[in-house]
Amino acid sequence: MDYFCQDSAHVTNSISLNEPAGSTLEDKATHKRWVRGLRTFYACLFLAAATLIGFHQTMSSSSSTEQHASLRTDVRSAH
């Protein structure tokens, strides 16, 4: 029964969000690399999405301007 308590305490400490008391410098460095990698990934994802949205709005606004211009010339030619 004592072994079960020790095992569960060990598992709980390694899964918890707080760093365990026995974490080494290597563990901390690995954690920082992972955090930096995730931040970089999401920053690139955000930048790509913003660029695509901006490009889409530019393309859709120029096509709608051409559409309005063609309608105006058709209306003028009908009169």
What is the pLDDT, as a whole number, of residue 49? Answer: 97
Reading the chain (79 residues) residue by residue, the pLDDT tens digits are: 566 666 555 555 555 566 555 679 999 999 999 999 999 999 999 999 999 999 999 888 765 555 555 555 555 555 5
d(CA 6, CA 61): 65
Lookup: tokens for 30: 């690995």
* Domains in the chain: boundaries: 24-78
What is the pLDDT, as a whole number, of residue 76? Answer: 56
What is the pLDDT, as a whole number, of residue 65? Answer: 55
What is the pLDDT, as a whole number, of residue 27? Answer: 93
Positive/negative CA dihedral, 52, 56, 59, 62: negative
Chain center to CA of 50: 11
Lookup: tokens for 51: 């660029």
